[in-house]
Amino acid sequence: MLSVAEQCSNLGFGVGLRTVHYTDFMESCPEVDWLEALTENYLGTGGRPRQVLRQLSMRYPIVLHGVSLSIGGSSPIDRHYLKLLKVLADEVQARWISDHLCWTGYAHHNLHDLLPMPFTEASLAHVKNRVDEVQNYLGRAILLENPSSYASFVFDGISEAQFLREIVLSTGCGILLDVNNVYVSSVNHGLDAKVYIDTLPAEAVGQFHLAGHSQREGYLLDSHIGPVPEPVWDLFRYTLARVGSRASLLEWDEEIPSLEVLLEENEKAKTLAALPSPAIQIHPELHL
Ligand SMILES: [Fe+2]
C-alpha cells in the first residue's frame, strides 16, 4: 500500500479547480503548481468535466478531494463509490485522495453536509476499521481533513485533534490540515487553535487547506468566501513553523473571483511560506 510519505510530495501552491475557470485553464495554461478537484464532480465516466480533468492531468498534478466517503457514518462503506473513485484516481493519476472526518448520510441518503461525529472510544474503533477498509480497497493511504464544526456531543471523551491523532497512528492514514477549519472550530468552541496543531503528528500531515470564513451572530461560518483572513494567515505561519512546508491549497467557493485574483491570493501563501519561521513554543500542558 502506498504510504502518505510516498504519495504526498510537496507539490507547492495549488488552487481548487472550479467550473468557472475551466476555459482559463484549458486555453491559457496559467502558472499554478497543482490542482485539487472535487471528486464527486468527476465520478461519472463521461461529459465535459471528466474530459477537462483528464486533459488538465497531463499538465498539472491532480489531487482528488471528496465529500461523500462518510468515514464517520454508520452505514456500510459504499463500495460502488470506492470503485468509481479508484478508476478516476488511476485515470487522472491522482497524487493522493482526501476526504473529511465526518459523516454525510445514512442508508444511501446523502445529506450533502459534513456532519459532526462523536469523539468516543467506540467511534474511534469504528472509524479506524473503516479507514482500514477504504485504504485496503484503494491500495493507498488516504488523507482525512479536520472539518469545521458548530456543535459537539455532551458525551465526547476525547478532543477532535486527539481523535485524529489516534486514527493516524493506528491506520497510517494522513491528515489534510485545514488551517481555516482549525481556526473556525477553535473560535466556535472556545479552544486553543495552537494546541490543536501541536496535538497532531506533524509527519502525517500531507497537505494544507487555506480559505476564508464569515462572521455570523455568535459563531464563525466556514464559508470559503473571500480572501484568507489575517488570523488564518497567522495560524498558517504557526503551522508552517510547527509542521513544516507542505503542499498548500487555496479554497474559494462562494463569489468565486477571476482566476487572476485567485492566483494573487495564492501568491500570499507562497510569500508567507518563504519567510523565516517564527520561534514557537509547544504548549507546556500538552501530554501526547
Ligand atoms: Fe478544507
Q: Hey, where are the domains in the chain? A: 4-258
3-class DSSP assignment, residue 254: strand
Predicted confidence at residue 285, as pLDDT, reads 57
Instruction: Kindly give the distance from the C-alpha atom of residue 210 to the centroid of ligand 1, in angstroms, as a whole number.
Output: 7
CATH classification (class only), 4-258: alpha beta
Whether residue 284 is predicted with pLDDT greater than 70 in this model: the reply is no
Predicted confidence at residue 286, as pLDDT, reads 63
Neighbours of ion ligand 1 (CB under 5 A): 178, 209
- Rounded CA gap, 43 and 203, in Å? 31
Confidence band, pLDDT 50/70/90 cuts, at residue 59:
very high
Predicted confidence at residue 145, as pLDDT, reads 98
pLDDT digit string (tens) for 175-215?
A: 999 999 999 999 999 999 999 999 999 999 999 999 999 99
Q: What is the largest CA-CA distance in the chain?
A: 54
Predicted confidence at residue 110, as pLDDT, reads 86
Dihedrals phi, psi of 94, to nearest 5 degrees: -60, 130
> Exposure of 61 by Cβ count < 10 A (0-12 exposed, 13-18 middle, 19+ buried)?
buried
3-class DSSP assignment, residue 64: strand
Predicted confidence at residue 287, as pLDDT, reads 55
Predicted confidence at residue 105, as pLDDT, reads 85
181, 209 Cβ separation under 8 angstroms: yes
The residues that bridge with 15 in the sheet, in sequence order, are 35, 250
- With a pLDDT cut of 90, the percent of the chain lying above it is 88
pTM for this one? 0.95
Evaluated on CA atoms 250, 253, 259, 265, the torsion sign reads: negative
Which DSSP letter does residue 120 get?
Answer: S
- Rounded CA gap, 239 and 202, in Å? 9
Predicted confidence at residue 152, as pLDDT, reads 93
Whether residue 99 is predicted with pLDDT greater than 70 in this model: the reply is yes
What is the arithmetic mean of pLDDT over 126-132?
Answer: 98
Predicted confidence at residue 270, as pLDDT, reads 92
- CA-closest candidate to residue 195, choices 205, 185, 204: 185
- Rounded CA gap, 53 and 209, in Å? 21
- Spell 123-134 as b/e; 16+ CB within 10 A means b: bbebbbebbebb
Confidence band, pLDDT 50/70/90 cuts, at residue 44:
confident
Looking at per-residue pLDDT, the higher value among 287 and 180 belongs to 180
- Rounded CA gap, 229 and 246, in Å? 20
Predicted confidence at residue 279, as pLDDT, reads 67
Predicted confidence at residue 283, as pLDDT, reads 62
Confidence band, pLDDT 50/70/90 cuts, at residue 46:
confident
Confidence band, pLDDT 50/70/90 cuts, at residue 262:
very high
Instruction: Kindly give the distance from the C-alpha atom of residue 6 to the centroid of ligand 1, in angstroms, as a whole number.
Output: 22
Instruction: Kindly give the distance from the C-alpha atom of residue 211 to the centroid of ligand 1, in angstroms, as a whole number.
Output: 7
Helix (H) or strand (E) holding 209: strand 205-211
Instruction: Kindly give the distance from the C-alpha atom of residue 181 to the centroid of ligand 1, in angstroms, as a whole number.
Output: 7
Q: Which residue is associated with the grid cell 478508476?
A: 87
Helix (H) or strand (E) holding 112: strand 109-115
Instruction: Kindly give the distance from the C-alpha atom of residue 222 to the centroid of ligand 1, in angstroms, as a whole number.
Output: 9
Helix (H) or strand (E) holding 140: none
- With a pLDDT cut of 70, the percent of the chain lying above it is 96
